[in-house]
């Protein structure tokens, strides 16, 4: 009577093997499709994430909150030291506050004289961080705002201080933000006060690299780094962080945004959006590379047409890939 | 519904529930700082433990669905990792009858080889597709940590979920050998 149940009936075995082979082949085909037509499969991914993660939220939110409380509780043990540090900081800050108020008044006066109005185009939507990337190899977060809130691919995101990342992948009620620390993140930045341009390249560490610097000697640790607005990627003058020198002597960036605890993130409604819709658009935009008025562009003259399209380092060519 | 059917479904639902928890756990937004080390892939370890010990309660469709979802959620190229896991579980499934006669060490070696095949095969696949990869060190750390975590996962599954290797000659209520 004893039969191998796992091996089943005689006729079922080859059939099962055939089905498993077909399944594996279908999965490999899906991977190839992802490689060939990345934007379409990434949209599919955004839809799947959009369906699944908000449903898990009822279970994930309490666990996250509980761990947060435990971490807060641990910090209570250092309360006395913290209190002393905060008092000292407060003294410094009140001095700064005086200076800031004075400058603000001066600024307002000057604006009034020049009749300047602040850029009304940069409004923002605030979202809550819902989920992590789930992989040690990817640095991204999932926000609880999406298409229905008007989020568009490519918009910059900030916390209350500095740049956090770039929206990449929008579902109906979720949006994924690729953090500046991700290996596929490339952001054009300007270093103040020297005005040097550079590319901020994430490399899966907390301190992204400053790459493609023209003159390294003009940059010192502690310099302020803001977005440059090059390539129409981000609006200019968003604070990113401060220059720091790594142990290997390379220039890195200490991010202004608090990556330890990302909770609320602002998505800026940027008028400059470069979206990737289909495969062709990845290499050359449908209408060719947009010509900008040379009078408006500062810096070196643009390279010839074909070269800008294929070698633009600011365009992330991969949306995902472990 | 007969009794063996019910226990079979309980084991299947047990795997599905555990897989769901293991899918959600890494998504918790506890820390968004890049870590210098990689954590073991517990979902892979659990699935391979199931495949080596009770393959009769692990339908291929469930493995496929779980890992395809994992690929989508964890920003991996969809399909590649899932295909490798199916190949690995099928290999263990075929060998499971022999594995349960041998010592635990033999099972550990077989599962460890399967883990290395999946994780390094995934990396090779990414290389073949010319996609950006994580640093090699991180992948190797993950392989070693996952293999090292297997005995703990197997022990916990044995104690908490009753996922044990069927004894030789053990039969279900219909008299089929397990």
Name the residue among A189, A151, A192, A216 with its Cα closest to residue A313: A189
- Reported as half-sphere exposure (CB side, CA atoms, 13 A), residue A27 has a value of 29
- pLDDT averaged per 10 residues in sequence order, chain A, 322 residues: 48 84 95 90 91 86 84 78 87 88 85 67 85 84 91 88 90 92 90 90 89 87 88 84 88 89 86 64 56 56 51 44 42
Q: Which two tokens stand for residue A113?
A: 């004289």
pLDDT digits (tens, 9 = 90+) for B11-28: 888 888 889 989 888 888
Which member of A205, A261, A321 has the closest CB to residue B77? Answer: A321
Residue pointed to by tokens 């390094």: B120
A239 vs A42: CA distance, rounded Å: 29
Average pLDDT of chain B?
85
Q: Mutating which of B19, B75, B170 best tests the A interface, going by the most A Cβ atoms within 10 A? A: B75
Which member of B34, B55, B77 has the closest CB to residue A205? Answer: B34
Q: Å from B155 to nearest chain A CA?
A: 24
**CA dist list (Å): B145 to A231, B42, B53, B106, B113:** 42, 10, 21, 18, 13
Dihedral of CA atoms A279, A282, A288, A292 in degrees, nearest 10, equals: 150
pLDDT score for B177? 58
Q: For residue A132, which residues of chain B lie inside 8 Å, CB to CB?
A: 26-32
**CA dist list (Å): B141 to A51, A136, B39, B76, B138:** 32, 11, 8, 18, 5
Q: For residue B77, which residues of chain A lie inside 8 Å, CB to CB?
A: 31, 34-35, 320-322
CB contact at 8 A, A48 and B79: no
Cβ within 8 Å, pair A52-B176: no
CB contact at 8 A, B126 and B118: no
Whether the pLDDT of residue B76 is over 70: the answer is yes
Pairs from B169-174 (Cβ < 8 Å, separation ≥ 24): B171/A2, B172/A5, B172/B4, B173/B2, B173/B3, B173/B4, B174/B4
**CA dist list (Å): A69 to A66, A75, A76, B22, B24:** 5, 10, 11, 22, 20
Considering only residues B173 and B25, tell me which one the structure prediction assigns the higher pLDDT: B25
CB contact at 8 A, B27 and A60: yes
A204 vs B141: CA distance, rounded Å: 15
Kind plus residue range of the DSSP H or E element containing A229: none
pLDDT score for B45? 94
Q: For residue B138, which residues of chain A lie inside 8 Å, CB to CB?
A: 136-137, 204
pLDDT score for A293? 57
* DSSP code for A290: P
A259 vs A273: CA distance, rounded Å: 25
Kind plus residue range of the DSSP H or E element containing B39: none
pLDDT score for A116? 61
Question: Comparing A62-76, A262-276, B37-51, B158-172, which segment has the lowest mean pLDDT?
Answer: B158-172
Q: Which two tokens stand for residue A212?
A: 């493609």
Nearest CA in chain A to B119: A322
Q: Which two tokens stand for residue A3?
A: 């039969």
Q: Å from B83 to nearest chain A CA?
A: 5
DSSP secondary structure of A200-220: EE--SSSS-EEES-S-GGG--
Q: Where are the alpha helices (DSSP H) in chain B?
A: 3-24, 42-53, 60-73, 80-99, 104-128, 136-161
Neighbouring residues of A204: CB distance < 8 A, sequence distance ≥ 6: A137, A139, A181, A182, A183, B34, B134, B135, B138
pLDDT score for A29? 95
Q: For residue A45, which residues of chain B lie inside 8 Å, CB to CB?
A: 72, 75, 78
Cβ within 8 Å, pair A27-B64: yes
Bridge partners of residue A227, in order along the sequence: A189
Q: Å from A79 to nearest chain B CA?
A: 22
Q: Mutating which of A8, A22, A137 best tests the B interface, going by the most B Cβ atoms within 10 A? A: A137
Q: Å from B55 to nearest chain A CA?
A: 8
This complex has an ipTM of 0.87
pLDDT score for A272? 67
Q: For residue B24, which residues of chain A lie inside 8 Å, CB to CB?
A: 56, 59-60
Q: For residue B57, which residues of chain A lie inside 8 Å, CB to CB?
A: none
Residue pointed to by tokens 């899918």: B23
Q: Which two tokens stand for residue A305?
A: 């047409």
Q: For residue A2, which residues of chain B lie inside 8 Å, CB to CB?
A: 171, 175-177
B75 vs B14: CA distance, rounded Å: 26
Q: Mutating which of A22, A31, A64 best tests the B interface, going by the most B Cβ atoms within 10 A? A: A31
pLDDT score for A97? 87
A146 vs A247: CA distance, rounded Å: 40
pLDDT score for A178? 92
Cβ within 8 Å, pair A64-B126: no
Cβ within 8 Å, pair B75-A134: yes
A56 vs B21: CA distance, rounded Å: 9
Across B77-90, average pLDDT: 94
Cβ within 8 Å, pair B131-A141: no
């Amino acid at each position: 009577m004893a039969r191998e149940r796992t091996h089943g009936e005689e006729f079922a075995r080859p059939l099962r093997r055939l089905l498993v082979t077909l399944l594996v082949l279908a999965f490999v085909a899906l991977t190839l499709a992802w490689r060939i037509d990345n934007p379409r499969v990434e949209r599919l991914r955004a839809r799947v994430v959009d369906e699944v993660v908000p449903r898990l939220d009822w279970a994930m939110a309490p666990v996250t909150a509980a761990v947060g409380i435990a971490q807060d509780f641990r910090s209570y043990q250092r309360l006395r030291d913290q209190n002393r540090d905060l008092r000292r900081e407060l003294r410094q800050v009140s001095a700064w506050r005086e200076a800031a108020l004075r400058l603000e008044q001066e600024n307002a006066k000057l604006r009034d004289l020049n009749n300047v109005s602040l850029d009304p185009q940069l409004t923002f939507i605030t979202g809550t961080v819902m989920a992590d990337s789930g992989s040690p190899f990817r640095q991204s977060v999932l926000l609880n705002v999406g298409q229905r809130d008007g989020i568009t691919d490519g918009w910059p995101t900030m916390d209350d201080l500095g740049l956090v990342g770039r929206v990449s992948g929008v579902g109906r009620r979720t949006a994924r933000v690729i953090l500046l620390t991700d290996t596929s993140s490339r952001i054009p930045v300007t270093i103040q006060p020297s005005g040097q341009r550079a590319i901020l390249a994430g490399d899966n560490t907390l301190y992204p690299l400053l790459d493609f610097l023209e003159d390294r000697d003009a940059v010192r640790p502690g310099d302020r780094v803001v977005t440059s607005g090059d390539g129409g990627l981000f609006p200019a003058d968003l604070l990113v962080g401060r220059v720091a020198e790594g142990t290997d002597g390379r220039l890195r960036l200490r991010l202004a945004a608090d990556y330890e605890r990302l909770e609320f993130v602002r998505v800026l409604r940027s008028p400059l959006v470069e979206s990737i819709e289909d495969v062709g658009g990845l290499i050359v935009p449908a209408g060719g590379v947009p010509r900008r008025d040379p009078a408006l562009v500062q810096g070196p003259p643009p390279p010839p047409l074909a070269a800008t399209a294929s070698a633009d380092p600011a365009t992330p060519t991969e949306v995902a890939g472990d | 519904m007969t009794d063996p059917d019910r226990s079979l479904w309980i084991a299947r639902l047990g795997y599905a529930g555990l897989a769901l928890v293991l899918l959600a756990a890494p998504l918790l937004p506890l820390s968004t700082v890049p870590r210098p080390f990689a954590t073991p892939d517990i979902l892979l370890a659990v699935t391979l433990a199931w495949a080596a010990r009770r393959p009769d309660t692990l339908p291929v469709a469930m493995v496929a669905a779980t890992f395809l979802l994992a690929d989508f959620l964890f920003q991996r190229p969809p399909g590649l990792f899932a295909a490798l896991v199916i190949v690995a579980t099928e290999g263990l499934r075929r060998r499971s009858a022999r594995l349960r006669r041998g010592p635990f060490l033999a099972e550990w070696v077989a599962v460890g080889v399967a883990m290395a095949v999946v994780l390094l095969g995934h990396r090779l696949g990414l290389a073949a597709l010319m996609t950006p990869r994580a640093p090699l060190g991180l992948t190797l750390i993950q392989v070693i940590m996952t293999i090292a975590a297997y005995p703990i996962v197997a022990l916990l599954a044995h104690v908490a979920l009753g996922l044990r290797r069927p004894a030789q000659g053990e039969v279900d209520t219909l008299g089929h050998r397990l």
